[in-house]
Structure 1
Amino acid sequence: MKTLYLDCSMGAAGDMLTAALLELHPDPAAFLEKMNGLALPGVAVTAAPCVKCGITGTHVSVTVNGEEEESVEAGTPHGHEHRHYHEEAHGHEHTHSHPHPHEHGHEHGHGEAHHSHAGMREIEHILSHLDLPEKVRADALAVYALIAEAEAKVHGRPVSEVHFHEVGAMDAVADITGVCLLLHELAPERIIASSVHVGSGHVHCAHGVLPVPAPAAAEILRGVPIYGGAVRGELCTPTGAALLKYFADDFAPLPVIKVSKIGYGMGKKDFAWANCVRAMIGETEI
């Protein structure tokens, strides 16, 4: 059976999963051309070699109108994506105290020009106009729904009041669509993920201090085996959590597998541990 194994010993985030799967793709350049050919408004997706702890992998960057998203938390060291989902009733603040899935490793300006929002209806509209297989579109919408439902529950608001910051929304669409499309093209028969390292400590926000994992990620990861550790900071983001929750058939140790290809998707920050998601694809007996 064609099996994909995702090693999440340094957590998971949308950009890292995209990069790891891209390394498994038979033609990464063609895939990037396809992603950029979707003509997401203002979006450009690029990939570059990246070295962590002596291991060479790939780092994927998504820019929106020439900008990358940037974390607004002080003291969040991990360096995946920090994407911001807004609850309309709470205004425009960029902190963990509002419905914001946080993805590490992108940079992003917070000027007034970007203070517009999109809800699930707008996300559905964007995805409906992309040249994607119907299965990929449905998968992307389902992943978005997991995130929106978790944010709504955490903040005690209906899903209809969960909104996405303009730059973050386009960035998230690229990451989520990229992972869904990569998995569609790689076509594993089974996907297994390791237990998920969520990090430890707290995230400092404008309205206080929140525990790691962030509330939305914790909600999404209900039923998934998770653990903390020596790494201080947020390692598993809500987007990464939702992608794992939706696609993984099981969370288990590495099975007996004849590996044919290995991919390393790198985050931005450097640690004593290689900051990456490792993806292995190969054949298992079951």
Structure 2
Amino acid sequence: MTEKCNVIYLDCFAGISGNMLLGALIDVGMPEELLRSELAKLPISGYEIKVTRVNRGDICALYVDVRVDEHGHHHRNLTDITTIIDQSGLGSAVKENSKQIFTRLAYAEAKVHGVPVDEIHFHEVGAIDSIVDIVGVACAFDYLGVERIYTSRLHVGSGFIKCCHGLIPVPAPATAELLNGIPYYQGAIAKELVTPTGAAILAILGSGFGSMPEGFISRKIGYGAGTWEIDIPNVTRLYLGEIKKV
């Protein structure tokens, strides 16, 4: 009997972010209550997760909104985040994947800003919402038994975005650093469609980029929603299926 492995293929025609991917994973079978119970193992508080079904264009998708209270916006460095993950009751694979993703983020930021990695203090990418997104995605991959993750070319958007230091180009410098080796294109939509969190997840966990793997058979399709209404449906499409092991 031919062995098969569980595979995900991500169609990123409108980009990808941590919460878009998390929404798509819930849509294909990650139980919401199990996700909440796993995230409750993290020694953090001051946030609420709201999962709603929304329409983006003509596509129905799940939108994951992590709402952080006014006392929850702490600046943390890589050691702080690693400690939070290590002190949790999460499984070893979830811990390892989550720490690798944050480590890749920290090194990308350090290179862009020209400082040692231990001097990087996470702001947007290190806030509670990103910890929840990254650990939540790692939990979902573990629960679904995903062995490989393939991704289409990424639509990153175009134009400029405002950050604490002024205007920066899309893709943001840290995102561009994380996308080394991953095919992407800009397109005409003047928005940041691929976030640093989304890029870091793919940089660490991605198995192949550019096209659906040969012999892939889809079993379920899910959609994770982004925040904006744009000219195309602002969703990440996730195919959960299998391929033959080689």
| Contact 2:48/2:66, CA 8 A, preserved across alignment | yes
Structure 2: 5+ residue runs without aligned partners?
Answer: none
CA RMSD of aligned residues (A): 2.1
Q: Which residue of 2 aligns with 1:138?
A: 96
Equivalent position of 1:182 in the other structure: 140
Paired residue for 1:263?
A: 222
Equivalent residues of 1:114, 1:167 under 8 A apart: no
Q: Distance in 2 between matches of 1:163 and 1:208?
A: 18
**Which residue number corresponds to residue 214 of structure 1?**
172
8 Å contact kept, 1:200–1:231: yes
State the Cα distance separating 1:259 from its structure 2 match.
1.4
State the match for 2:17 in structure 1.
13
- Distance, in Å, in 1 between the alignment partners of 2:205 and 2:154 is 14
**For 1:209 and 1:277, how far apart are their aligned partners in 2?**
26
Given candidates 208, 232, 235, the residue that maps to 1:273 is 232
Which 5+ residue runs of structure 1 have no aligned equivalent?
Answer: 68-112
Give the match for residue 98 of structure 1.
Answer: none
Is contact 2:125–2:196 with CA below 8 Å preserved after alignment? no
Task: Name the structure 2 match of 1:85.
Answer: none
Q: Structure 1, residues 116-171: CA drift from partner, whole Å, max 9, x if none?
A: 52211111111112110011111111000111000000000000110124995222
d(CA) in 1 for partners of 2:176 and 2:166?
18
2:63 counterpart residue number: 59
Q: Output aligned runs, 1:25-174, within 5 Å.
A: 25=29, 27-36=31-40, 38=42, 40-65=44-69, 116-165=74-123, 168-174=126-132
- The one of 192, 202, 209 aligned to 1:251: 209
Q: Which amino acid aligns with 2:33?
A: A
In the alignment, the residues of structure 1 paired with residue 46 and residue 204 of structure 2 have an alpha-carbon distance, to the nearest angstrom, of 28
Aligned mates of 1:45, 1:226 — CA distance in 2: 30
By how many angstroms is 1:176 displaced? 0.6
Distance 1:31 1:129 in 2: 18
1:88-131 residue CA offsets vs partner (Å, 9 max, x unmatched) = xxxxxxxxxxxxxxxxxxxxxxxxx6775221111111111211
Maintained 8 Å contact 2:8/2:240: yes
Shift of 1:216: 0.3
Q: How many aligned positions are there?
A: 240
Matched residues, percent identical? Answer: 39
Write out per-residue CA displacement over residues 1-51 of structure 1, whole angstroms, 9 at most, x where no aligned residue.
Answer: 321101111111111111111111253333234334545221222211111
Selected match of 2:8 from 4, 25, 39 = 4
Q: Is the contact made by 1:36 and 1:44 (CA closer than 8 Å) also made in structure 2?
A: no
